[in-house]
Amino acid sequence: MLKSTESISKGIDISVKNPMLFVPYAMPIVIQLFFNVLAYLFPIGYYLFEMPNPFISLFGSFIAAILGFVAGCMLVDMTNDAINNRPLDLRKSMNLVASKIGALIVAAIIAAICSITVILLPIAMFIMVIAIIEELDAVESTRRAFDFVIKNLSEVIIFIVIVIVVEAIFSYGFSLIPIIGSFIGAIISWFLNAIFTISAVYFYLSLRAPPHPI
């Protein structure tokens, strides 16, 4: 089995065995759903029609994204613990993220810039994973991400293509369902994000060194 497809499978397996991994995403999900409801309750007029208020939705998405960033960082650390058979500890992971928030924000900015270029998207996906697992600064995390992707280019490309295709399918599918589709789609999107983050951690650890026992 390809390491890319194995990692997706392991990501699902690890998340099923450790449902606590989804807890950090509870707050951004609640926030996004809350603002989505507000957007429908306070629509804006568009000619003869009314539509959900996009300003409220965008503000909610912004707040959820900030909380989601922290949640994603916590998830990487918690997944690393799960893979290495260490107990999951929300407080410990939160403290780790808080203690390195400056370096993580810089790393996230670099990752965002890389993702915009498309061709550097594989680098962007692993910068944060490496920064948290290896406890490195933004510059060194970026350098390690480049090295990791170059050494495992074919597997990384397959992994990213799978992630993009699956997310696109779910996103398009739920967009076809009026009103409720946006709510279900938002929840599914966060869960997929969590599973793919878990998969990315396993992917990195298994190719960085001999595979860790699950």
Binning pLDDT at 50, 70 and 90, where does residue 169 land? confident
Question: Could you report the per-residue pLDDT of 73-90, keeping only the tens digit for each?
Answer: 999 999 999 999 999 999
How far is it, in rounded angstroms, from Cα 28 to Cα 13? 23
Task: Please tell me the distance from the alpha carbon of residue 173 to that of residue 185, in angstroms, as a whole number.
Answer: 8
- pTM exceeds 0.85, yes or no: yes
Contact (Cβ atoms closer than 8 angstroms) between residue 10 and residue 202: yes
- 117-121 long-range contacts, CB within 8 A, separation 24+: 121/160
Say whether pLDDT at 199 is over 90.
yes
pLDDT at 211 over 50: no
The residue with greater pLDDT, 96 or 211, is 96
- Give the integer Cα–Cα distance in Å for 4 and 203: 7
State both tokens at 104.
Answer: 């993580």
Tell whether the model's pLDDT for residue 102 goes beyond 50. yes
| Length, in residues, of the chain | 214
Determine how many CB atoms are found less than 10 A away from the CB of residue 17.
11
Report the mean per-residue pLDDT for the chain: 88
Residue 178 binned pLDDT confidence (cut-offs 50, 70, 90)? low
* Digit-coded pLDDT (tens) for 116-152: 877 888 898 899 999 999 999 999 999 999 999 999 9
Reply yes or no on whether the pLDDT at 201 is more than 60: yes
Q: What is the pLDDT of residue 71?
A: 94
12 pLDDT above the threshold of 90? yes
